[in-house]
Amino acid sequence: MSNKKRQNSSLRLEEKYSVRHAIVNYYLALMFTIFPLFASNAYFNIRHDKYYFFIILTSVVLISEFLIILYVNLGKDGVNSSPNITTSDNTWYKNFSLPDWAMLALLLSSIVSTVLSNYPIDSVFGTAGRNNGLLLISIYVGIYFLITRYYYYKKYVFFALAAASAAVYLLAILNFYYIDPLGMFEKLTDSKTIVDFTSTIGNKNLLSSYICITLPIFITMSVHTKKTSYRAVYLILSGLGFMSLMTADSDSGILGIGIFLIIYFIWYSRKISRLKRYFLSLSVMLISAKILRLFSLIMNDRSKGMDEFQEIFVFSNIGFILIAVTAIITSLLYFIDYKKPGIVLSKAVPVVLGIIAVLCVTGALGAVIYFSCIDTSAELGRFESILRFNDKWGTHRGFMWIRSMWIFGDSSIVEKLFGTGPDTFYYAFQPYFNDLQKFGDSSTNAAHNEYINYLITIGIAGLASYLAAVGGVIARAVKAARKNPIAIVCISAVICYSVQAVVNISQPITTPLFILFMALSEAASRKSKSM
């Protein structure tokens, strides 16, 4: 049998729903439901609760799948009996994509980083950081390859995500008004901790990270799903997700969702049938923000409070103007699509919109550079915390980013290439702990920028591998979306998380879900090739 015929035979076999597919789907359902809601002792040890849950469940699934694959591929006499494996010509690697190779490179560079590290034990388990050591990275790579090879689309997986997310969102909204149905606040004595922690995710920045993974899924599903009843469910979830984003009061979430909405507006701009649903979801989210104002009136404004930007949507009259604008646009688009269904605009439309978006981003970055390096004395008022990058910028993220670059610049060639060891930022940043105390912190174990954190801990090799994996997954999913819409749905979570990661941290509470959607996106891309 020729290689081409053997490959086609392999594709046909993979189309059949088997035990291997079922295990992957059940695993995803458990990760999308129990994982976000699991907390054994309120907020105490919540990171370790989710870390061990993910490690144990994923390890069991990986081992189970390995044994099943071994049993299926090998006959009783121990010889290969499956056409899926071609041991004679060893061409298995030809099916590897760029993200596949990048994930292997990430694992290899992390292993080298661990071996060369002065803190090998901490590098393996990430005990000096957020448990993002070699062990967790290895699990990430393992589950990535399993899902990309054996995921089979089933609606209940996304329904599971919808159910758990609804619970997370509702708890976040209730907790914002100090309503604590699960008794999560009872054991907390520090008022600041009560304000910063919410729902079953933990810190409000991590809740924003969770929202950046799930909310884009529901928005895009509301656009692509064909059944009206399903669309209604996803629209409701979009509204709840936006409400919880307002209560999270985190700039990282606003950044992630904002960039996602711009990118997908450009993506949907050609087809009126999709653009109308996109604006419908925007209208629902903006209306939902005003519902929070109603809750605030009922609660006599007894809440944790929110930033000025979020108040625009919730309390300001500008929010009503935005609702009116999106509602009018939505109505017009529905009317146009009703009169002339199937309209597809010129390719120049997304190109022009993309150019405008790039110019806006470039202008914003130029303004930051100007007021940070040239005109450092101009009064900027409330915009100073955004437009002037210094040690105080971003709740003293500027301090950590600047010192991180100093650390990288002073490091040896080997450390530049492979870092100090996975999740060992704590040790690298120790020389600046005394200076950090002026901001009220005695230490830190993360750069609060995932990419800088990877640069310091696993070096250029590790960061380059990670970026290649993420970038490759996104590029392939965009190409595959024409045949398989689920690709553009799953990649929305990857894009949004990757944006918020610029000002947030990787950890075993939300990052595992990000890895799962990376794998699902790649699985959709692989699937599109057999369509």
User: What is the mean pLDDT for each group of 10 consecutive residues in the chain (531 residues)?
Assistant: 47 68 97 97 94 98 93 62 42 81 98 98 96 98 97 95 98 96 89 91 96 98 96 98 95 96 97 97 97 93 91 95 98 97 95 96 94 90 86 93 98 98 98 94 95 98 98 97 94 98 97 98 90 68
Q: Which residues does 12 contact at the CB level (< 8 Å), separation at least 6?
A: none
Q: Match 């044994």 to its residue by tokens.
A: 67
The Cα–Cα gap between 169 and 164 comes to: 9
Check residue 470 and give its pLDDT.
98
User: Among residues 425, 440, 387, which one has the least CA distance to residue 506?
Assistant: 425
The Cα–Cα gap between 510 and 501 comes to: 11
Q: Match 């409330």 to its residue by tokens.
A: 382
Check residue 92 and give its pLDDT.
57
What Å distances lie between residue 384 and 264, 377, 389, CA to CA?
29, 10, 8
- Sequence ranges of the domains in the chain: 3-270+345-366+436-528
Check residue 365 and give its pLDDT.
93
Check residue 7 and give its pLDDT.
47
Check residue 84 and give its pLDDT.
44
For residue 204, give the H/E element and its range.
helix 204-224
**pTM for the structure as a whole:** 0.94
Check residue 75 and give its pLDDT.
57
Q: Which residues does 10 contact at the CB level (< 8 Å), separation at least 6?
A: 83, 84
Check residue 401 and give its pLDDT.
97
Check residue 188 and give its pLDDT.
87
Do 383 and 417 contact (CB within 8 A), yes or no? no
What Å distances lie between residue 105 and 20, 25, 122, 148, 479, CA to CA?
26, 27, 21, 17, 23
The Cα–Cα gap between 461 and 114 comes to: 13
Torsion sign over Cα 234, 237, 241, 242: positive
- Greatest pairwise CA separation for the chain in angstroms: 79
Check residue 9 and give its pLDDT.
45
User: Strand pairing partners for 43?
Assistant: 41
